Structures are given as C-alpha cells and as structure tokens.
Amino acid sequence: MAKVQLIRIKKSFGGKTVLNDVNLTINEGEFVALLGPSGSGKTTLLHGIAGIIPFDEGNIYFDGQLMDFVPIEKRNAVLVDQNILLFPHMTVYENISFGLKIRKIGKKEIKNKVEKFLDMMELYGHENKYPHELSGGQKQRVALARALIVEPKVLLLDEPFSKLDIVLRKSLQEFIREIQRKLNITTILVTHDKEEALSLADRIAVLIEGEIKQYDIPKNIYEKPVSIEVADFFGKTNYFKGKIKNGNFITDIGTFNVNSPDKSKVTLMLRPEQIIICDENESNVKGKIIKRTYLGDKVNYLIVVKGQVIYVSTFTDKNFNVDEDVYFYLDFNKAAYLEED
C-alpha cells in the first residue's frame, strides 16, 4: 500500500560497516525477497525500515513521506520474525485482536475479522488457548495473523517460515502471498530459501556485505546474474572462460556460435538445467559421466569434458551410468555474461 524508498542507507556497528550505501525502491503492493549470506545486513535493513533502529545515514520514504524520525508505532510497518513474541497472558483470540482493540474498532467488526483470520490460518478450535499451549507452527500463524489483521502498509518478514515443516511452510507461503496481493501490502521477505524467493517474489534484492549487488525479477537473478558472487549464491553452476571472435565463442571445451560482438576476455554462465543431454547428431559436445545423483524429481550429473567438470541437471532421466559417454548441447546464446570479480 505504500511505495518504500531507501536512499543511500548506511549503518555501522562499532566501526564495522554493515550497510553500505543501500538504495532500494519497492513499489506499492510489490513483494520483494531480500537474499544474502548470513551477516550481510538483512535483519539490520528491516529493523531500520520498521523504525526499531536508526540508520546512520540516508533516508527512508513511504509514499514520498520522510520516515526517518517517525516513531515505530506511527510507521504502519509490521515486522514478523522467528522470535515469536506473543502476549503470554492473552489467548489466541486476544492476541490476534490486540491491534484492532487499541485502534478502538467495534467488537462486532473485531469478531468478524478475527474469525476470518482464524479460518485462513487454520486456527479454529485454538482461539481460547494460551501461547504456551500451542505448537511452534501455530504460534507463528498467530503472530502472522496479529500482524496482518491491522492491514499494515508495509509488511516486513524476517525468515518467518524457517522453523516450520515443509508442508506448513508451503501452505503459509501461499497464504501470505494471497493475502498480500489481496490487501496490496508492500512486502519485504528475508529468506535463506532460494526456491521460496524465486517462486514468491516480484523482485529479488541480493545483499552481499552490506551492498545490493543485483535487484531484478527472479528469472533474471537466476539466469542472468551480474556477477559470479550473485550466480554462486543460487547454487552450483557452470562457468566458461574464453573470448568471442567473429560470432564464435572460443573456450577450452570447444568453439560455439554466438550472436555477440567480439570480446577478448569473457566468462559465460550456463545453469545445470540449461544444458541438454541429447543424441549424438543433435549435440555439440561429448563428455564422460563421473557422478550421478538421483533426487526424485530430477537427476544431477557431473560430466567431464576435456578436463572441465560440467554440472548438468535433468528432469527426464535416461538412466546414464558413471563412466558412460554422453552427448549434450550447449546453447551459449542463452548464457549469462558475467563481470569478473
């Protein structure tokens, strides 16, 4: 519901820079996933947006309004994190309705809204329990309901699903996304789960060592990372170093057609699932399988080609064995061009 703008944000703790000139704009109603290694400054950034801590430099705007000096309770931004702080002396119903009660909303309206959330969060039957009588997943859902019921302008989620089992996590992810869309709440989700980020977010911001290294739609973050450090962050991948001359990419494992201008030094990246295992007559590379890992929905292979190890992931398993020769097709027109770090 609010456009969030972060401009030249800096933050240090005890002389150590944690956020270094962060610029980020999240459009009204947009769902942004914030990803980055542990200690890269994700929680610090969310805490600053919520108003829990002040930034050292830079400005925060919600809908063009300067928030820097607006206290936490007036920002209309709510934070839900792993540490679920429910009121221990209040029941589930009282916890969820708390925000509406202090806003002096009528009893009947509160009841209607709470019932909707009890239903959505599958908490019916638990409304009269106290927090100590709930499981971790139930507590997390109460915390989410309590945050969402006040229809905040900005929702800040700091790994809220990480302690939940996979089934509950998936259903809560979908639920949050649905309600976020319905209420058009501008949302930032911090997660270590790359699949969660890729599947839920409109855009992903990659924060490494206090700097936003890339901010783009999930497909581009995954397929067209701007640097090796961003590419590596999304798992094993293939790099090919070489040069481009007269429409050919010349690299250690061969020469391949590309529609690109000449470049004396270039690193191209292909993800494991972008490499297609095929018949000999359709292929442009031959290699030998050195490892096969069965993962249920897909099979990963390590293949050696002229001394270079290539990662290949395939959904249609042809039951290749270790030591077997395979043919595959590398399409360097689909590759990402990476800056050298």
Ligand X SMILES: Nc1ncnc2c1ncn2[C@@H]1O[C@H](COP(=O)(O)OP(=O)(O)OP(=O)(O)O)[C@@H](O)[C@H]1O
Binding region for ligand X (CB under 6 A): 13-14, 18, 36, 38-44
Quote the least distance from Cβ 59 to ligand X, whole Å: 19
Quote the least distance from Cβ 75 to ligand X, whole Å: 19
124 three-class SS:
coil
Toward ligand X, which CB reaches closer, 38 or 259? Answer: 38
Toward Mg ion, which CB reaches closer, 30 or 158? Answer: 158
Toward ligand X, which CB reaches closer, 11 or 203? Answer: 11
Quote the least distance from Cβ 169 to ligand X, whole Å: 17
The item of ligand X, Mg ion, none sharing an interface with residue 13, based on CB under 5 to 8 Å by kind, is: ligand X
| Residue nearest Mg ion (C-beta atom) | 43
Instruction: Give the one residue of 5, 40, 43, 191 binding Mg ion; rule: CB under 5 A.
Output: 43
What is the residue whose two structure tokens read 């783009």?
216
Quote the least distance from Cβ 43 to ligand X, whole Å: 3
Quote the least distance from Cβ 101 to Mg ion, whole Å: 31
Between CA 83 and CA 70 the distance in angstroms is: 24
Toward ligand X, which CB reaches closer, 83 or 259? Answer: 83
Quote the least distance from Cβ 209 to ligand X, whole Å: 10
Toward ligand X, which CB reaches closer, 41 or 272? Answer: 41
Toward ligand X, which CB reaches closer, 122 or 232? Answer: 232
Between CA 298 and CA 152 the distance in angstroms is: 40
The item of ligand X, Mg ion, none sharing an interface with residue 41, based on CB under 5 to 8 Å by kind, is: ligand X
H/E element holding 303? Answer: strand 299-305
Phi, psi of 50 (to 5 degrees): -70, -25
The item of Mg ion, ligand X, none sharing an interface with residue 5, based on CB under 5 to 8 Å by kind, is: none
Which strands sit side by side in the sheet containing 16-26, from one edge to the other?
A: 16-26, 4-13, 57-62, 65-66
The item of ligand X, Mg ion, none sharing an interface with residue 35, based on CB under 5 to 8 Å by kind, is: none
Between CA 214 and CA 198 the distance in angstroms is: 14
Which strands sit side by side in the sheet containing 254-257, from one edge to the other?
A: 254-257, 248-251, 238-245, 263-270, 336-338
User: Is 297 exposed, middle or buried, given 0-12, 13-18 or 19+ CB atoms closer than 10 A?
Assistant: exposed
Contacting residues for 36 by C-beta, under 8 A, at least 6 apart: 42, 206, 207, 208, 233
Q: Which spans of this chain sit near Mg ion (rule: CB under 5 A)?
A: 43
